[in-house]
Amino acid sequence: MNFRTRSSAILVAVSLLFAGIAAVLANRWMNERTAAVEATRPRTTRVVVAATDIPFGTSIEARHLASVDMLVNAVTSGSYSQPSVVIGKVARSDIYAGEMLLERRVVARGEGSTLAAVVSPNMRAVTVRVDDVVGVAGFLLPGNRVDVVAAREENRKAYAETILDDVRVLAVDQVSNADKNAPMVVRAVTLEVTPEGALAIARARQLGSLQLTLRNPHEGAAAGVIRTAEVPLAPLPPIEIAPPRPMPVARHGVAAMPRVTVIRGTVVSQTAE
């Protein structure tokens, strides 16, 4: 190999070396730029949402669900990414179309009725017979919060006390969804109470009557405070019994016979019995 050939080979090798270095640097620069763009691009994830309104107590089916891409920062903890995980569960409250499905809004359905599945753990469902007055003129709907007032009479005094505070209404009659706003007169209201609350309702129902009072949904619970009011009853007026009228006495000490007055038209006459 002469000098010219050796010089050409060296130049080619040096050129290839610089080309390789340039390629590596260009590739590194491109990767850094791509990483920077990806870092600034909003990240999304698949989330399960309600495709239609899902009323309280409804068993969720595939037609109720849809999947959408949402920003990772906007996704609430407890959401679902696969619709198959939610199918078969029961809605614990009204879920509206487009709303994200959350674990705390649904419950796995077990054996028994749908209503049994939506009762919170360690709670009980108890039904109270109501009328248009006790049922707050028909304005009670599932999901409302009420106080339970018990009234009774004892020793001629009327007692009224709030035995349960901030109780959730599970159903009115056989209706468990709150898609109506018009008043509806019902015969029974099902409440979610503790086991002790169920005993208190049963005891108060035997001693007197119950009244439900509707609460503002934004008002906090009263922490179980019992408020008692005692209203004395007005005393009944005494009953006066008139003494018997004495028999008239004749002049010689013989009791006079009572007379009977007979009226015939305009003629009045008296006869002795």
| CATH assignment of the domain containing 74 | 3.90.1210.10
In a domain, 271, yes or no: no
pLDDT tens digit sequence for 18-76: 888 888 888 888 888 887 777 777 778 899 999 999 887 788 899 999 999 888 888 88
In a domain, 273, yes or no: no
- Shared domain for 126 and 226, answered yes or no, is yes
Of 68-72, 128-132, 218-222, the range with the lowest mean pLDDT is: 218-222
pLDDT tens digit sequence for 80-120: 989 999 998 888 878 889 999 998 888 887 655 667 777 88
pLDDT tens digit sequence for 233-264: 444 445 454 565 665 555 555 555 566 666 66
- Shared domain for 83 and 132, answered yes or no, is no
What pLDDT, on the 0 to 100 scale, is given for residue 3?
63
- Shared domain for 138 and 57, answered yes or no, is no
Cβ partners under 8 Å of residue 236, min gap 6: none
**Closest among 121, 120, 71 to 100, alpha carbons compared:** 71
In a domain, 246, yes or no: no
What pLDDT, on the 0 to 100 scale, is given for residue 63?
92
- Shared domain for 135 and 209, answered yes or no, is yes
Domain boundary among 117, 147, 175: 117
In a domain, 243, yes or no: no
The residues that bridge with 262 in the sheet, in sequence order, are: 269
pTM of the model as a whole: 0.52
124-132: average pLDDT: 82
What pLDDT, on the 0 to 100 scale, is given for residue 113?
64
**Closest among 127, 134, 147 to 221, alpha carbons compared:** 147
Total domains present in the chain? 3
pLDDT at 180 over 60: no
Domain boundary among 67, 97, 117: 117
In which domain, by residue range, is 158 found?
121-232
- Shared domain for 157 and 90, answered yes or no, is no
In a domain, 88, yes or no: yes
In a domain, 202, yes or no: yes
What pLDDT, on the 0 to 100 scale, is given for residue 236?
41
In a domain, 5, yes or no: yes
In a domain, 138, yes or no: yes
What pLDDT, on the 0 to 100 scale, is given for residue 71?
85
